[in-house]
Structure 1
Amino acid sequence: MVAVVNYQGGNVQSVLFALERLGVEAMLTDEADVLRAADKVLFPGEGEASSAMVALRAAGLHEVLPTLTQPFLGICLGMQLLGRRSDEGPAGGTELLGMLPFEVVRFAPPDAAHKVPHMGWNNLHDLQGPLFTGLPGAEPAGAGSPGAADYVYFVHSYYAPVGDYTIAQASYPAGAPFSAGVRYRNFYGVQFHVEKSGPVGEQILRNFLHGDL
């Protein structure tokens, strides 16, 4: 059974549609027992970190999610929430779930040509591990087109820096890498919208659902 975490975090329906396209019927739930019994857990998200953490705490999920032991995939904001702290939110930032040892920071573009949020198609590089099985080698940043096999869709103003937990990178601006994918133990995360990333996103979802993670 595949569970999708329900915490009013946004983007849930598009994830459910993506799973449906792959022939997977998922359960949308905020119940601890259901989440613990699931074979795989997806943690989507859109919006703002502090509001998301308020919702997670209200549902008691801030205590449940870090204890899960099955393969777990955070998507977009869902990836960021796996970290320790975010600069997003009230003065002083927001304490996050703490499954991975990163702090989320805001993009600081060097000039007016680089906008925040980082929005649109960008390619992946330095892919590592079974989540990306079947994807071709990455092209240099800025090469190719949105149809290129390693391109995925991003919408975010904050990011996790590259660290030992990084299993995929993208660059914004060109040459400035950030974590596009992360992992610690059973907890995986992708900064891009895997459900909106065409064939690449579908391959990554298949790898998560059916691969040996």
Structure 2
Amino acid sequence: MKIVIINYGAGNIQSIKFAIQRLGYEAILSDDPEEIKSADKVIFPGVGEASSAMRKLRDSGLDTLVPKLKQPVLGICLGMQLMCNYTEEGDTTGLGIFHTDVVKFNHGVKVPQIGWNQIESLNSVLFKGVEEKEYIYLVHSYYAPIMEETIAQSTYGVTYSTALQKDNFYGTQFHPEKSSDAGEKILKNFLELKINN
């Protein structure tokens, strides 16, 4: 199986690659459109700032490629947020895969949220074998509201989407590669997805 991690300067690429290796797979880091298009699974990572990340995607033409991909695609953290229509961070237009706007926490909570939180209302094959209220690891100041495509949620001052799915596109606000056993199961479930899931 060919797994490609989109390499556009995001910060958590190596930790994702190591997590995939622990599951017995190898992943390629690439920003080459042909390499990405030919992958069985694509991971769209993200640690950084939204407007500069989108600029890098636009400069390399990946902003038009990613929404057209037909294989399973997993956006992680900022990757998931950039898959939305818009984010308040840097007043940034996203890829428009998930039709929602990403907004900043302003509910009297400390920002960013850093650390472990529980996920619930799990509603996807992505969470096969994962218990309700399992703990996952998050680092973020912005969030996607609850919407039709929400497949998991958490609460931090407000209840928000911790995972989204639309067609072949999946997104997790949390870092599966840093979320211990639960994260490992979620990553494994993604890598084992059949095209039609």
Preserved contact between residue 160 and residue 179 of structure 1 (Cα < 8 Å) = yes
Q: CA deviation at 1:109?
A: 2.5
Preserved contact between residue 109 and residue 116 of structure 1 (Cα < 8 Å) = no
AA of the residue aligned to 1:74: G
AA of the residue aligned to 2:119: L
User: What is the match of residue 171 of structure 1?
Assistant: 155
User: What is the match of residue 203 of structure 1?
Assistant: 185
Q: CA deviation at 1:203?
A: 0.1
User: What is the match of residue 97 of structure 1?
Assistant: 95
AA of the residue aligned to 1:29: S
Aligned residues: 194
Unaligned runs of 5+ in 1: 139-149
User: What is the match of residue 147 of structure 1?
Assistant: none
Report the secondary structure of 2:98's partner residue: coil
Instruction: Using structure 1 for the length normalisation, give the TM-score.
Output: 0.89
CA distance in 1, matches of 2:28, 2:189: 19
User: What is the match of residue 85 of structure 1?
Assistant: 86
Q: CA deviation at 1:129?
A: 1.1
Preserved contact between residue 48 and residue 88 of structure 1 (Cα < 8 Å) = yes
Q: Indicate the structure with greater strand content.
A: 2
Compare CA radii of gyration and give the structure with the larger one.
Answer: 1
AA of the residue aligned to 1:131: L
Q: CA deviation at 1:137?
A: 2.6
Report the secondary structure of 1:101's partner residue: strand
TM-superposition CA deviations, 1:124-165 (whole Å, max 9, x none): 000001000111233xxxxxxxxxxx1000000000000001
Q: How large is the RMSD of aligned CA atoms in angstroms?
A: 0.8
TM-superposition CA deviations, 1:75-121 (whole Å, max 9, x none): 000000000011110xxx111111110101000022xxx31001110
Report the secondary structure of 1:163's partner residue: coil
Percent sequence identity over aligned pairs: 49
Q: CA deviation at 1:23?
A: 1.1
Instruction: Using structure 2 for the length normalisation, give the TM-score.
Output: 0.96
CA distance in 2, matches of 1:203, 1:86: 29
Structure 1 runs of 4+ aligned residues shifted over 6 Å read: none
1:135 aligns with 2:117: no
